[in-house]
Amino acid sequence: MTLKLKTLAASLLLAAPMAMVSFSSLAVERVTLKLAHNLDNSHVVHKALAEMAKEIDTASEGKMKLRIYPGGQMGGPRETLEMLQNGALDMTKASASEMEPFAPAYSIFSLPYLFKNDKHFTNVLYGQVGQEMMQETRDKGFISLASYVAGTRSFYANKAIHTPADMKGLKIRVVATPTTIKLIELLGAAPAPIPFGEVYTALQQGVIDGAENNEPSYVQTRHVEVAKFYAEDQHTAVPDYLVVSTKVWDALSDEQRNIITTAAKHSEEYEQKLWADEVAASRKKAQENGATFIQVDKEAFRNVLTPLYDDFKNDPQRAEWLKKIEAVSDQ
Ligand code: GCU
């Protein structure tokens, strides 16, 4: 490329997150999409997204590119979702909890002990209910293209938690949603809404006593170093979502959308395959770092948290989603 052309290409890229240059002789138009997320590049969701980028590149014969910015370089999900809305970014990753403020459907994943088993969870996620949910935010300026399993979330702290009573008075970081805040309060603890990237320092400095997450995030964020007790209460199963701006999505051609949709589907399968090994490896690493995994009586936690179900049943929209999920097979 000549310098002039390079400058033109660069300014095109800067001018719009989605820069298209069309060549009539080619079946697919050139496009570069930018995707930012807050996970480490060793995280399986990042690996799945990187595979997706490769597949899009190959399937489009190099005409379509997905440029990924990991590790919260562009901020947390709140910021990146906002960037999607104002046209500054094309795609991001957000957990269901982070999607909850935009569509009540996603709140269902913050309801503790909802899924009967893993099959029930994946049948919801990858079945009709999940598909329907992924369109729910269309009027907010984005939709989900893929969903990724993220195991179960448990509490971890700088002191041992064996029963719900041990949670009393603890300051616990959560992805703040009405459901998660109530969940923490029902346990007699105090919810602290701190961005993912700031939890390590908050734990280290004693601003909070604990947090809750799956094993890979507990380890990759190094929270394990400053909160040694991981209580396996497994209160929720909160998936991650690949989210795209509807403006960007609707501007793509059918062929471009097909390429992305197919690669997104494959990325879901790939991530699901990696997940179990990642959890096992994270547990091993946590133990090597001095973590203690504590078996707890989940029933005791479930009992304390049942009032959340009444909240859902009393809210017509959320009650509807609850019914739909309960009707999905667990086989
Ligand atoms: C998990 C999840 C992320 C989320 C994070 C959090 O790691 O995969 O999407 O941002 O939890 O607790 O903030």
Query: pLDDT (tens digit, 9 = 90+) per residue, 258-278?
Result: 999 999 999 999 999 999 999
The yes-or-no verdict on residue 326 having pLDDT over 60 is yes
Please state whether beta strands 91-95 and 153-157 pair in parallel, antiparallel, or not at all (unpaired): unpaired
Identify the band that residue 27 occupies on the pLDDT scale cut at 50, 70 and 90.
Answer: confident
Nearest CA to ligand 1 atom 3: 95
Which residue out of 35, 39, 106 has the highest number of ligand 1 atoms within 8 Å of its CB and is therefore the one to mutate? 39
pLDDT at position 245 over 70: yes
Closest residue to atom 7 of ligand 1, CA basis: 217
Task: For residue 209, give both structure tokens.
Answer: 């006593």
Strand 292-294 and strand 229-236: the pairing is parallel
CATH 3.30.70.330 fits 3-95+112-149+240-276, yes or no: no
Residue nearest to atom 5 of ligand 1 (CA): 196
**Terminus-to-terminus CA distance in the chain, angstroms?**
56
pLDDT band, very low/low/confident/very high, at 11 (cuts 50, 70, 90): very low
Which residue has the CA at smallest separation from atom 6 of ligand 1? 196
The pair of structure tokens assigned to 126 is 């990858």
State mean pLDDT over 133-153.
98
User: Start-end ranges of CATH 3.40.190.170 in the chain?
Assistant: 3-95+112-149+240-276, 153-237+285-326
Atom of ligand 1 nearest to the CA of 77: 10
Ligand 1 near 217 CB (within 6 A): yes
**SS3 (DSSP) at 156:** strand
By 3-state DSSP, what share of the chain in percent is helix, strand and coil, each rounded to 5? Answer: 50, 20, 30
Domain 153-237+285-326 carries which CATH code?
3.40.190.170
Q: Is the dihedral of CA 85, 134, 272, 175 positive or negative?
A: positive
Residue 110 Cβ inside 6 Å of ligand 1? The answer reads no
Task: Give the ipTM of the model, two decimals please.
Answer: 0.97
Q: Distance, CA 95 to ligand 1 centroid (Å)? A: 6
Average confidence (pLDDT) over 219-245? 98
Q: Is the pLDDT of residue 5 over 80?
A: no
pTM for this prediction: 0.92
Q: Give yes or no for residue 154 CB within 6 A of ligand 1.
A: no
Residue 25 has a pLDDT of: 45
At 124, list the tokens: 């919801």
Cβ within 8 Å of residue 6, ≥6 positions away: none
CB count, 10 Å around CB of 273? Answer: 11
Q: What is the pLDDT of residues 70-97, one digit of tens each?
A: 999 999 999 999 999 999 999 999 999 9
